[in-house]
A and B are shown apart, each in its own frame.
Chain A
Amino acid sequence: MKNKILWWVVFLTAAAPSVYLSIMFFFFPRLLGVDPVEVYLQQNGLWALRFLLVTLACSPLRRLGMKTVVRYRRMLGLYSFFYGTLHLTTYVAGWIEFDWSLFIEDLYRRPFIYVGMFTWVCLFVLAATSPRWMVRRLRKNWVVIHKGVFIAVCAAWLHLWMQSRASAAEPLVYLTIILILLGERVFRRFYKSSLVKPRS
């Protein structure tokens, strides 16, 4: 029972930014900003990245004692894909307005766009292989495939970095978080494992 409630709390909290942004975007666009499409695009992109980071924080948090968080890891990862897809949809429908020639041009001419596309493909593969029956079916391969989350987070950050042009402040905040999350894993693998008995 408690778990059920918690599940809903996490589910609704994670949905909240998209609900808020979408209500604003569709019903009060001018309150979202002078260019609502741009705000909606950028905010969904940022939330995709943030949920990727939250997903990566799950296993370190478990090791710090928050045992239950891993239960929501898959959901949080799917939310990253969800926001990334909203971001992509906004780009196609709102930004280039289905002008596919612009899309093709962007894909081969704008490095930050194809890095973004690559990120989205990573998230798509992770999402598509996330159901439990997929885990069972892919077995060892599943573990390998889901190492792809590390590629995805690096690519997402690169995409952010490449499109920032006036200040490095925001990407550096995200980089710091990513380095802590990845650093913790490297540390555990190469340093701690030689002291303590190996764990999963």
Chain B
Amino acid sequence: MTRRFSESENHVTPKSMFLNRRQIMQGAGALAMTSMISPLVAAKTANAPNWLNRKINSTVYRSVDTDDSVTDAYDTQRYNNFYEFGTGKDDPVKNAGDFNPYPWEISVSGLCDKPGVLSLEDLVTSSQTEERIYRLRCVEAWSMVVPWTGIQLSSLLRRFQPNSKAKYVAFETIVRKEEMPGQRDRFSFIEWPYVEGLRMDEAFHPLAFLAIGMYGEALPVQNGAPIRLVVPWKYGFKSIKSIVGIRFVDQQPPTTWNLAAPREYGFYSNVNPGRSHPRWSQATERRFGADGKIDRIPTQLFNGYSEVAGLYKDMDLKLFY
């Protein structure tokens, strides 16, 4: 493990402290504005079951921290790319109300010794959760800093004992046309289900994370409830939301945006300011700050998570974008 990682693992932040910080942050102005737009504010996590809330509330470890200031939760909940709920940035928060993520099951299959179906409740109650503050960099050249609650991806994958033939992990989002208006759009460029994938060593990297909560609460629907991937060194679309299927495979699995526009979105999609994109310069990004302000800042290779560089040692990152 890298220095950053082991260092921060010793760094224990009691939950209560984190909550206080958050209340102070919100008190400073954001709240006044929030109440003016209350129709949209209606908490989409209100129906999160007790076992989930209890688990998130009892999370006391923050294993990865950052010096960047955390994005206003108000923004994180209202500015989403979750095309299952529509193409506008505010469509997900508007349309999230119809979607009920509980109960939830994840089916794990493919090249592993113990395939099976795991209920979210079993996963959550049997796991040790932690908080990680990660930068999230969207390919659209904006970014946020989000405190996620969840578990390391590898700890889930290990349960199913992938065998040596497994070279990649494929992920799949739920399809529920009745509850997800974007999936009913007949002119969508995207095929459902949304699918994503990681190479095995990427998936087992300690930074790869599964989130069940953010800002100390259960994940709002528009942010990928009830469980989503968070791969902080890759563009946001790799961090697939509302996961129902995981498959260990021996070949590079298809991924949604790569299928929609192969020249624009590669399988790897590592954050890379040096590789220009036909739609957006990736040299800089617009960062949503703590106060609702947006600043243009330079983008870092691997979104600043240089500890993953070893995964791509002998690869030409411009070729394998």
Instruction: Spell out A's residues near B (CB within 8 Å).
Output: 30-31, 33-35, 37-38, 96-97, 99, 102, 105-106, 109-112, 163-170, 172
Can you give 24 contacting A-B residue pairs, CB < 8 Å?
A: A34-B288, A35-B89, A35-B288, A35-B294, A37-B294, A38-B89, A97-B296, A99-B296, A102-B281, A102-B284, A105-B276, A105-B281, A106-B281, A109-B281, A165-B189, A166-B87, A166-B188, A166-B190, A167-B83, A167-B188, A167-B190, A168-B189, A169-B188, A172-B187
Q: Report whether B187 and A34 are in contact in the complex, using a CB–CB cutoff of 8 Å.
A: no
Q: Does B90 contact A (CB under 8 A)?
A: yes
Chain B residues with CB below 8 A from A110, complex form: 278-281
Q: A168's contact among B37, B75, B182, B187, by CB below 8 Å, is which?
A: B187
Q: Report whether B261 and A35 are in contact in the complex, using a CB–CB cutoff of 8 Å.
A: no
**Chain B, range 78-92, C-beta contacts under 8 Å to A:** 78-79, 83, 87, 89-90
Smallest CB–CB gap between A28 and chain B, Å?
9
Q: A169's contact among B185, B260, B286, B288, by CB below 8 Å, is which?
A: B185
Q: Does B292 contact A (CB under 8 A)?
A: yes
Q: Does B319 contact A (CB under 8 A)?
A: no
Chain B residues with CB below 8 A from A170, complex form: 87
Q: Does B33 contact A (CB under 8 A)?
A: yes
Number of interface residues of B (CB under 8 A): 33
Q: Report whether A33 and B281 are in contact in the complex, using a CB–CB cutoff of 8 Å.
A: no
Q: Report whether A35 and B187 are in contact in the complex, using a CB–CB cutoff of 8 Å.
A: no
Closest to B76 in A: A34
Instruction: Spell out B's residues near A (CB within 8 Å).
Output: 33, 36-37, 74-75, 78-79, 83, 87, 89-90, 142, 182, 185-190, 260-261, 276, 278-281, 283-284, 286, 288, 292, 294, 296
Bound Cα distance A102, B90 (Å): 27
Bound Cα distance A163, B37 (Å): 29
Q: Report whether B37 and A31 are in contact in the complex, using a CB–CB cutoff of 8 Å.
A: yes
Q: A112's contact among B74, B186, B260, B279, by CB below 8 Å, is which?
A: B279
Interface of B is mostly: loop
Chain B residues with CB below 8 A from A38, complex form: 89
Closest to A113 in B: B279
Chain B residues with CB below 8 A from A166, complex form: 83, 87, 182, 188-190
Chain A residues with CB below 8 A from B284, complex form: 99, 102
Most buried by B among A165, A169, A170: A165
Q: Report whether A109 and B189 are in contact in the complex, using a CB–CB cutoff of 8 Å.
A: no
8 further A-B pairs in the complex, CB-CB below 8 A; given A102-B283, A167-B187:
A33-B79, A33-B90, A34-B288, A38-B89, A105-B276, A111-B278, A112-B279, A169-B187
Chain B residues with CB below 8 A from A167, complex form: 83, 87, 182, 185, 187-190
Chain B residues with CB below 8 A from A111, complex form: 278
Chain B residues with CB below 8 A from A31, complex form: 36-37
Chain A residues with CB below 8 A from B261, complex form: 165
Chain A residues with CB below 8 A from B276, complex form: 105, 109
Bound Cα distance A30, B186 (Å): 32
Bound Cα distance A33, B78 (Å): 8
Chain B residues with CB below 8 A from A99, complex form: 284, 296
Chain A residues with CB below 8 A from B280, complex form: 110
Closest to A112 in B: B279
Q: Report whether B78 and A34 are in contact in the complex, using a CB–CB cutoff of 8 Å.
A: yes
Chain B residues with CB below 8 A from A109, complex form: 276, 278, 281
Chain A residues with CB below 8 A from B89, complex form: 33-35, 38
Bound Cα distance A109, B276 (Å): 8
Smallest CB–CB gap between A173 and chain B, Å?
10
Bound Cα distance A28, B277 (Å): 33
Smallest CB–CB gap between B57 and chain A, Å?
27
Bound Cα distance A96, B294 (Å): 12
Bound Cα distance A109, B74 (Å): 34
Chain A residues with CB below 8 A from B182, complex form: 166-167
Bound Cα distance A112, B281 (Å): 13
The 7 A-B pairs with the shortest beta carbon distances in the complex, nearest first, are A34-B79, A168-B187, A169-B187, A166-B87, A34-B75, A166-B83, A34-B78
Chain B residues with CB below 8 A from A37, complex form: 294
Chain A residues with CB below 8 A from B75, complex form: 34
Chain A residues with CB below 8 A from B79, complex form: 33-35
Smallest CB–CB gap between B6 and chain A, Å?
36
